[in-house]
Amino acid sequence: MPFTRSRDSTDMDDLALLKTVPLLSFLPDDTLEDIRTKLVEQQYEKGEFIFREGDKAEWFYFLKQGAIKCLKYAPQGDELILKILLPGEMFCCESVTFEGDTVHPGNAQSMGPTTVLKLNRAIYFECLHQHPPVTMQVISYLGNRLKESQDLAKSLALDTAETRVAALLLRLAEKLGEKEPEGVYIGIQLMRQEIAHMIAITEETTVRILTRMKEQGILSAQSGKKLVISDMDALRKLAS
């Protein structure tokens, strides 16, 4: 079960996080501070669900720490990963942005120890009524999310499997990477099957590409599920 924590010494970090969120960043500081006091912080262990498909959508979510995968299940039970969320990202906003009873169209599951901040949708709608210009940011944000979906569809249709793998690893490294003597360590456990499910290729193809990257010196040898990128420049070239 998720653990709910009261506000404490991390409050300044929470305020800084809110200022980076597209749907909140244009609000005045005093309004953001008021929102900060109304945030609910919850912690999840690996495999726990933040929400499931069909649950009522009542909260905006902000990922403070860890990683979350957004997924759906195919009729035969296969897992289809739509996106991996990283610290600083807001999620579930499409489901709660519009007034009325809405439900989550998919699932959100923690990939390891995870901390999430959530804000009740009623509080956000109150902010919109008090600051009408912010509604333009909502329109812009939803437009950007639509473009992201279109870009993903284009990538899946046109990019090679190797390019897709490289682009995914590059994004994870730039967002979560930790420098170590042997290279840049990606600080989440990412199974080969999960990589395959994210970019619409088979697990066998994923294994071949990762093996080739190791042979080329782009990835270093893995210890367990530890993934280390030893040549970021080469990875960027593959991803372009």
Mean pLDDT of all residues in the chain?
Answer: 84
d(CA 86, CA 106): 17
pLDDT at 222: 56
| Structural domains of the chain, with CATH | 3-157 (2.60.120.10), 159-239 (1.10.10.10)
pLDDT at 139: 76
Beta-bridge partners for 229: 184, 219
Q: Alpha helix (H) ranges present in the chain?
A: 11-20, 29-37, 93-96, 121-130, 134-158, 161-176, 192-199, 203-215, 232-239
What one-character-per-residue DSSP string does 172-217 give? HHHHHEEEETTEEEE-S---HHHHHHHHT--HHHHHHHHHHHHHTT
Burial class from Cβ neighbours inside 10 Å (0-12, 13-18, 19+) for residue 39 reads: buried
Mean pLDDT to the nearest integer, 138-157:
75
Backbone angles phi and psi of 130, in degrees to 5: -80, -25
- Whether the full predicted model's pTM is greater than 0.85, yes or no, is no
pLDDT at 9: 37
pLDDT at 38: 94
Give the three-class secondary structure for 52.
coil
Query: Which among 121, 118, 114 has a CA at the least distance from the CA of 2?
Result: 114
Question: For the segment 60-76, what is each residue's pLDDT rounded down to a tens digit?
Answer: 999 999 889 999 887 87
Question: For the segment 75-133, what is each residue's pLDDT rounded down to a tens digit?
Answer: 877 788 888 888 888 887 667 766 667 888 899 999 989 999 999 988 988 888 888 87
Residue 225 DSSP class: T
